[in-house]
A and B are shown apart, each in its own frame.
Chain A
Amino acid sequence: MPDRTICLCYRKIIDASSTRPWDKLVWDDSYVEFRLQAQNFNPENRYRSFGEILHYMPGAERLHFLVSGAVTGYVQQLSERMPDILNNLGRHFLRFERFQFELINSDLQDQSKHQVAVNFVSAPLHWHDTVGPFLLVSEATAVPAAGEVLTHLVQLQPFLSIYSIQKPESDASANAG
């Protein structure tokens, strides 16, 4: 298999059962911001849930973006290091530069129904091979030292997916000569 360049996406779900400090801060602050911003799309407080607002109010899909302002400060605190996803040595190893915040469910009167996701998109990786449930990858920007490139094994797991794949510029020219 020729090496391919991919980006991984990790969809981190945060809800009432989340216990870790970062998750709880994101959960609490995104709920406060949702209650503020939802008022742009909720005349006479007609609706209670995010689902209803999204269904009935045109333009309400902008709430994903508008509420994300409560989260960007916490995303910056991660210093581009993707949380939770480990290589098979048990270390965090993925870098991210892009993210997208997403409201899944919420309720203006019941925070326990508030559920959000932060989608992290990794920096480009070279995908060298697949070993059982593992992808063998290396950072696309890594420069080989004496022909050696350091690699990571990362396991395919729920909420981790391949976000994008970069097409080689031209197969024909790459194969020529």
Chain B
Amino acid sequence: MERKHFLKSLLMGAASAPVLLSACGKDTVSPTSSTSSTSGTTGTTGTSGSGSCTVAPTETEGPFPTKTPASYVRSNITDGKTGYALTITITVNNANASCAALAGALVDIWHCDAEGNYSEYGGTGMQATNYQAVHFLRGRQVTNAAGQVTFTSIFPGWYSGRATHIHVHVYSATGTSLKVTQIAFPEGSGTAVAAVNGYAKGLSGYTSNASDNVFSDGVALELATVTGSTTAGFQLSWALAVPA
């Protein structure tokens, strides 16, 4: 109650009063000074070049915003993207503590969809996007006491020049970057990569781990264990050690 009153008084004091002042005092406010003083932060007091004024808000107050975590913070990152189900389990250990499980670390992952595309701003970078589902196949979780995070996603497709992979960024609980790396997939007959067969575009022109310029220096540490099938879905598990 007190907080609400406080906020209200802030609003009344900081926003509304100048709004009324600048809206009514058009004779004394030059267009340039009022433009620079609003800077779009209040947005309701914009004065046109001719020096005329706009109305102040005259409606029921609201909406009342609530603190919301980044859209990345979720376990299911599919956002309606279709593909073979993939459960991703990542275990983070502390290289500075005999590889004990590291709890409380932030783990970001991102990967491409079945066609090989990432969520990002399109083409020119200036095109506005629909506000829903703009961050598909990107997620963030905090490791539990066992150092584990789990994501529900789809099996990544592939794109020219790269083997199938998932990006991983591990941060400390306070947000300091500890490791940026990528998860590699086993390949060859009998593997999940062979079973998925590159989705619609097949595997013609696919880059193997050995030819991939990220994994070609030895893939042992990045290589995940992947089990399952196209009908039952796949399970990926992978562990890494970070200096924390």
Measured CB to CB, the residues of A under 8 A from B are 9-15, 17-23, 25, 29, 32-33, 35-36, 39-40, 61-62, 64-65, 68-70, 72-79, 81, 83-86, 88-92, 96-100, 119, 121, 132-133, 155-160, 163
Contacts of B43 in A (CB 8 A): 10, 12, 83-85, 159
Measured CB to CB, the residues of B under 8 A from A are 7, 10-11, 14-15, 35, 38-44, 46-48, 50, 52, 54-59, 63-72, 106, 108, 120-121, 125-132, 134-135, 138, 169, 171, 175-177, 180
Contacts of A99 in B (CB 8 A): 128-129, 131
Q: Which of B47, B128, B138, B171 contacts A119 (CB 8 A)?
A: B128
- Asked if B177 and A77 make an inter-chain contact with CB atoms under 8 angstroms apart, the answer reads no
24 A-B residue pairings within 8 Å (CB atoms): A11-B40, A12-B40, A13-B41, A19-B15, A25-B67, A29-B68, A29-B70, A32-B175, A36-B175, A36-B177, A40-B169, A68-B134, A69-B138, A72-B135, A77-B65, A91-B59, A97-B130, A100-B121, A100-B127, A155-B54, A156-B48, A158-B35, A159-B43, A160-B46
- Asked if B63 and A77 make an inter-chain contact with CB atoms under 8 angstroms apart, the answer reads yes
- Asked if A69 and B70 make an inter-chain contact with CB atoms under 8 angstroms apart, the answer reads yes
Knowing A72-B134, A83-B43 are in contact, say whether A90-B171 is a contact too (CB < 8 A): no
Interface class of chain A by DSSP: mixed
- Asked if B38 and A158 make an inter-chain contact with CB atoms under 8 angstroms apart, the answer reads yes
Whole-angstrom distance from the CB of B14 to the nearest CB of chain A? 5
Contacts of B11 in A (CB 8 A): 19-20
Contacts of B127 in A (CB 8 A): 100
Whole-angstrom distance from the CB of A110 to the nearest CB of chain B? 16
Knowing A29-B70, A133-B50 are in contact, say whether A19-B131 is a contact too (CB < 8 A): no
Given contacts A11-B40, A29-B68, A84-B44, 18 further A-B contacts (CB under 8 A): A13-B40, A25-B65, A33-B70, A36-B175, A72-B71, A74-B68, A81-B63, A84-B43, A89-B55, A91-B58, A91-B59, A97-B130, A98-B129, A133-B52, A156-B48, A157-B46, A158-B35, A158-B47
Cα of A6 to Cα of B102 in the assembled complex, Å: 53
- Asked if A100 and B129 make an inter-chain contact with CB atoms under 8 angstroms apart, the answer reads yes
- Asked if A17 and B128 make an inter-chain contact with CB atoms under 8 angstroms apart, the answer reads no
Which A residue sits closest to B53, measured CB to CB?
A: A155
- Asked if A23 and B41 make an inter-chain contact with CB atoms under 8 angstroms apart, the answer reads yes
- Asked if B71 and A86 make an inter-chain contact with CB atoms under 8 angstroms apart, the answer reads no
Whole-angstrom distance from the CB of B106 to the nearest CB of chain A? 8
Cα of A21 to Cα of B66 in the assembled complex, Å: 9
Which B residue sits closest to A156, measured CB to CB?
A: B48
- Asked if A62 and B55 make an inter-chain contact with CB atoms under 8 angstroms apart, the answer reads no
Whole-angstrom distance from the CB of A166 to the nearest CB of chain B? 15
